[in-house]
Each structure stands twice: as C-alpha cells, then as structure tokens.
C-alpha cells in the first residue's frame, strides 16, 4: 500500500514539473514577443506607436503564447499583425482579417506587410465579420482591437456584419478554452450599436452582452487604456481626443 507521504511527494514532484514546463513556455514566449517588438525590420511608423498601443502589455494580458493559432479581426494596416506574425513562431499561425470594403483604406498595406513572404506565418482573409474564414474550433486567440464599434458602421453603405451572428462566428472558430480579446473606444452609457457609425465607439456593456449571448464569458479586464479626461461624447477623430480616448480592455473565454 502506498504511503500518504509517498503520494504527497509524487504529487508535489509532478506539480513542480508542470510549473517548470509552464514557466519555461512563458519565458520562451516573453523572449519571442520582446524580439518581435524589437525587430529592426518593423516599420518606423509602427515603432512610434508602441508607447500608446502597449503591444507587450496587451498580448501578455491576452495570454498570448508562441505556437498559437491567432485570428486577428479587423487587422487594419497590420500594426499587431507584424508583431504576432513574428512572435507566434513557425509552429503558430496568424489570420490577418479585414472586410473587403476596407481595401480602399488599407489595401496598399497588404503588400507592405506580406509581400515577398516577409511574414510567412500570416494569411490574409478578406471576409465579413459574420462570415469568418476559419474552421470550427481551430483558433486559440481572437483579437479585435479598436474594431467592435464597426458593427454600427457602414462604409459606402456596406454592412460589415450582423452583431449577433458576428459573435456567434467568433465562438464557432474558437477552440474550447480559447479566448477573445476586445479593446475599443468607450461610448456613453446606454448607447446602442449605431454610435459606431458616428462616434466610432461602443460601450463595454454592449460588447459583453453580445459576447455572453454567444457563449463567451468574461475572464479578465484591464484599465490600461482608461482615460478619465475623455468625455466619451465626441468622435474618436476629434482633435481634442484623437489618440487619447478612453478604451475598455476585456478578455473573454469560450
């Protein structure tokens, strides 16, 4: 019969081994993330945004690990794509997604980011938010940074995606236990999705309501981008607040 002391010792040993493995993975990821941010190949205009966009803090908060499959919704010109594409390592992958109607805004950025196979782990996807280009249960981390408000925006009359279906799509492509990171400009309390087309903002409450309805639950939140001086009632491109808006940062789990 195994003694309680022996069982405790084995359990403790297994726990220490697991802790060592987790710590080693985290350390390796931290090194890869730091190297990606410090890469001399990053465009100077990206580097100039680091102080305000806090890429290391954001991705650490999201639980990012090298080797992940990442789906970057509304990647825009690719600021985070550049970092993620390097930090996932050759065992990971990144989908750089934008709606087709965004070509007029960011079309030239695609060649700059992905031309000549400079980011071989990244795949471009031009798709609507409610028709995401990924198989079921295939993604570890979905990021949607400065974008959920677009559900209330129709550039050139083009609808970018039904809100409820969009979050159902996010839940569909996430692996069980996978995470959704959302960061966006905060709208006045009680605002509906339509303010996304005017102020280019959304409330955290509405974002969480949509995520919860799709089966995603809040795992963590952060005040890293909160700014009490933002009145929330002016558009994000207003010179008085541009680049200094108050933003919510929330991580959801499937």
pLDDT in tens, 107-130: 788 999 999 999 999 999 999 999
Is the pLDDT at 160 greater than 90? The verdict is: no
Q: How many CB atoms lie within 10 A of CB 58?
A: 20
Choice between 77 and 4, residue whose per-residue pLDDT is larger: 77
- Closest by Cα among 81, 149, 151, 146 to 114: 81
43 burial level (CB within 10 Å; 0-12, 13-18, 19+): middle
Q: What is each CA distance from 97 to 61, 72, 73, 116, 192, in whole angstroms?
A: 21, 6, 5, 19, 25
Assign 3-state DSSP to the chain and report helix, strand, coil percentages, each to 5.
Answer: 45, 20, 35
What confidence score (pLDDT) does residue 158 get? 72
Model's pTM, two decimal places? 0.88
Average pLDDT of the chain? 89
Q: What are the phi and psi torsion angles at 106 (to 5°)?
A: -130, 5
Q: What is the chain's length?
A: 254
- Contact present, 32 and 66 (Cβ < 8 Å): yes
pLDDT digits (tens, 9 = 90+) for 34-68: 999 999 999 999 999 999 999 999 999 999 999 99
Percentage of the chain modeled with pLDDT above 90: 80
The domain 4-253 is placed in CATH, from the list 3.40.50.150, 3.40.50.620, 1.10.10.10, 3.40.430.10, at 3.40.50.150
Confidence category of residue 9, pLDDT binned at 50, 70, 90: low
Is the pLDDT at 16 greater than 80? The verdict is: no
């Amino acid at each position: 019969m195994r003694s309680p002391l022996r069982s405790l010792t084995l359990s403790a040993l297994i726990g220490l081994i697991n802790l060592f493995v987790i710590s080693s993975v985290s350390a390796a990821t931290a090194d890869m993330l730091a190297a990606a941010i410090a890469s001399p190949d990053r465009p100077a205009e990206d580097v100039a945004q680091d102080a305000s966009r806090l890429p290391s803090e954001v991705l650490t908060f999201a639980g990012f690990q090298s080797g992940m499959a990442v789906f970057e919704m509304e990647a825009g010109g690719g600021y985070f794509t550049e970092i993620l594409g390097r930090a996932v390592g050759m065992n990971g992958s990144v989908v750089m997604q934008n709606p087709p109607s965004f070509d007029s805004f960011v079309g030239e950025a695609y060649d700059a980011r992905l031309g000549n196979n400079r980011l071989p782990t990244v795949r471009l996807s031009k798709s609507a938010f409610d028709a995401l280009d990924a198989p079921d249960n295939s993604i570890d981390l979905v990021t949607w940074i400065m974008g959920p408000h677009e559900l209330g925006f129709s550039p050139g009359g083009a609808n970018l995606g039904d809100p409820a279906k969009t979050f159902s799509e996010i839940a569909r492509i996430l692996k069980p236990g996978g995470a959704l990171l959302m960061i966006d400009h905060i709208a006045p309390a009680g605002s509906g999705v339509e303010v996304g087309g005017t102020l280019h903002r959304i409330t955290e409450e509405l974002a969480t309501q949509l995520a919860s309805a799709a089966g995603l639950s809040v795992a963590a939140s952060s005040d890293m981008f909160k700014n009490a001086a933002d009145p929330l009632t002016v558009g994000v491109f207003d010179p008085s607040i541009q680049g200094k808006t108050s933003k919510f940062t929330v991580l959801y789990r499937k």
